[in-house]
A and B are shown apart, each in its own frame.
Chain A
């Protein structure tokens, strides 16, 4: 059976309750081509029902809502289905299942969460801040997963005196730290005025990047290795990989 839900966490929990006994349940949030004779179930989101499901799940595994949040952030096409299969198994087993890697549903969910975690870790390194006129820092990026707010604690801990904006240009949203509080806001185009020295620091960094490369060690294979660690799709936002100083029209 196919289950439509509204894409929210509560909607997911309600769908889970409804489809619990359906082993062939398929979860979708958008219109899909249905085979002849198939009638989808429209899951209505009921907050109270969702809360009940949540509490039940938490009684089996107290960390499972963090996992759900992580799975929701995944950019994988079938991430909701992966979450669904994982949580259905959790509800069946009634105890933490995260280490049962021989279970395909667990393995898939763990891999999916790992991907999100890895990207967060990578972005701790790959975020590139630019200094704006006011001294606040601005970093545009377009991650595979929905993680901009998950990056905030890391940067807040190390740059507590600098307000900053981490802008997910693909999802058109931003995580903002104003020097005190953190919040997430929709953000489409951003008008950013850079500080007087910003261009110079960027070109010093590029110079540094060039000069640390050891030509005698550069090879096709090593280059492939670089791209493995630092995928080309991230380069657009990496200062050292851009020809010219950052041009905002291109980014936003």
Chain B
């Protein structure tokens, strides 16, 4: 059994990876332990409000690289530890059995060299799947510059892999993570995307069995450690979704755990991170393109959520009639999330919806009322200025509930994820 001390060191080093999602794997139990839960599942929540779904741990925090922002960089004086593959397997199995976790999120510092590290990671996932017959969720972080064959083999055992882009531009990478490059992070992602598509095709033809990253790939960017504006960050995001078929892009507001002249002294701020996630939802589920949301050199509005901000720039498109507007238009109404949009579409089949009906159905109207009519009647504020004022008020009042507001997504699977609060 792993010691508490080792566990502390190895999990301390893993916790800044924000992804904890366990969704997207429908892996079946074929004897042994575990299965995938397509919707994902939260097993606990930390006092900082985040969901614990996976056992997030690094195999080693003993790094040969020297990324400026990282507490485990080569030049840092911190306690080091390296786990054996058995220790990780056992921990996963025993936590899983007790229903503490949905699976494993395994990554590692670059220990000795990239190939050695990737080999060890591969050994853990292979052991878990074959020796321990574990079918629960496994998210594996890839090691940049490791042999491509190791990556490809790992993809047969893991549900999801991620190569973190870390910083949103090559320039910042050079400055803060000199041993990494955009190319060393993006190439494996592109290769995996291509191989995954090829695998799917062969599987469809019945030529091959098994899995290849059924839950796809994700990545993470640190926000606020370097100067890129939101517009630039979100353009990279859009490209990653469209070109590399990524499932999720995570944003991690920079937390200054390390002091360095090249790094800011303060945290990037959680509101900024939150706005980026809201804009990200718009890209993935609401049919927006980044060009509609923010200009390349600009940041998102702190005052309004990105959908509100867009609507205020496009007042000529509103109000829309709640009984006639098609789904894609309803989705663009501030305050109406996907769940409510579907509710409205269903309910209006049976009756002409009045404002009171919407209230009864608990559709949040504080913002929406300025952008809709019900049977031709308008219930919002008269002037655009008044609307702005009221929206700002609604925003401050609801800031605590905001995550929910945008958590209403397009598929039942995603709605469930939103409901359970997973990022």
Contacts and interface: CB of A to CB of B under 8 A. Distances in A.
A220 to B, nearest CB: 10
A128 B421 contact: no
B57 to A, nearest CB: 8
A60 interface: no
Contacts of B35: 157-158
Nearest to A127: B99
B360 interface: yes
Interface stretch (A44-52, A68-76, A101-109): A101-109
Interface in A116-151: 118, 121-122, 124-131, 137, 139
B241 to A, nearest CB: 26
A190 interface: no
B2 interface: yes
A170 interface: no
Contact of B48 (A131, A214, A230): A214
Contact of B4 (A161, A203, A212, A213): A203
Interface string B339-374: 000010011011101000100110000000000000
- Give the contact-size bracket for chain B: 35 or more
User: DSSP majority for the B interface?
Assistant: loop
B56 interface: yes
Nearest to A159: B33
A125 B97 CA distance: 12
Contacts of A127: 99
Interface string A78-102: 0000000000000000000001111
- Give the contact-size bracket for chain A: 35 or more
A218 interface: yes
Interface stretch (A7-15, A23-31, A175-183, A221-229): A221-229
A124 B346 contact: no
A139 B46 CA distance: 21
A5 B140 CA distance: 57
A119 B255 CA distance: 34
Given A102-B347, A222-B48, A125 B360 contact: no
B271 to A, nearest CB: 12
A211 B419 contact: no
Lowest 5 CB-CB distances: which A-B pairs, in order?
A225-B49, A222-B49, A217-B48, A102-B357, A125-B43
Interface of A: 99-102, 104, 107, 118, 121-122, 124-131, 137, 139, 155, 157-162, 197, 200-201, 203-205, 207-209, 211-219, 221-226, 229-230, 238-240
Given A200-B1, A201-B1, A221-B49, 6 more contacts: A158-B34, A158-B135, A160-B29, A204-B91, A208-B95, A226-B47
